[in-house]
């Protein structure tokens, strides 16, 4: 069974630009969550989607948004990029989206903002 895939793996953008990251969950998984990983703040929850609906949202500004499609694939978008948005963005999927359910992570997208 294929794992969680994320594209692109690496991205370099300039301040003020916007970026879209993509995540394909494991087949049959309906929940997709996004996390930001930085050396200073560690791993922080961005948002979670289940059956195309955002169920939970972390403490990030409105520049961070996402969506989920009917095939459970998800995208996240960051508008008006800032230097502080440089991070590893991780996507995770789970079958049921329940708290006890295991989340499987993709390899991440490394975003560098210059």
Partner 1 sequence: GNSVTQMEGPVTLSEEAFLTINCTYTATGYPSLFWYVQYPGEGLQLLLKATKADDKGSNKGFEATYRKETTSFHLEKGSVQVSDSAVYFCALTGQGAQKLVFGQGTRLTINP
User: DSSP code of 95?
Assistant: S
99 in contact with partner 1 (CB under 8 A): yes
Consecutive H or E run containing 87: strand 87-94
61 in contact with partner 1 (CB under 8 A): no
Show contacts with partner 1 in window 12-31 (CB under 8 A): 31
Binding partner 1 (rule: CB under 8 A), the pick from 11, 22, 58, 65 is: 58
Rounded distance between C-alpha atoms, residue 4 and residue 108, angstroms:
9
Binding partner 1 (rule: CB under 8 A), the pick from 69, 107, 112, 114 is: 107
- What are the backbone dihedrals phi and psi of residue 85, each rounded to the nearest 5 degrees, phi first? -85, -5
At residue 104's C-alpha, the angle toward residues 98 and 110, to 5°, is 125
Interface residues toward partner 1, by CB under 8 A: 4, 31, 33, 35, 42-45, 48, 50, 55-56, 58, 90, 92, 94, 97-108
């Amino acid at each position: 069974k294929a794992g969680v895939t994320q594209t692109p793996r690496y991205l370099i953008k300039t301040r003020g630009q916007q970026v879209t990251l993509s995540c394909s969950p494991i087949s049959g998984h309906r929940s997709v969550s996004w996390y930001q990983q930085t050396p200073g703040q560690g791993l922080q929850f961005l948002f979670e989607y289940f059956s195309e609906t955002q169920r939970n949202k972390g403490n990030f500004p409105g520049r961070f948004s996402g969506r989920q499609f009917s095939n459970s694939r998800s995208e996240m978008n960051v508008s008006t990029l800032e230097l502080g948005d440089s991070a590893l963005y991780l996507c995770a999927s789970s079958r049921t989206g329940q708290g006890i359910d295991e989340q499987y992570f993709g390899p991440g997208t490394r975003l560098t903002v210059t």
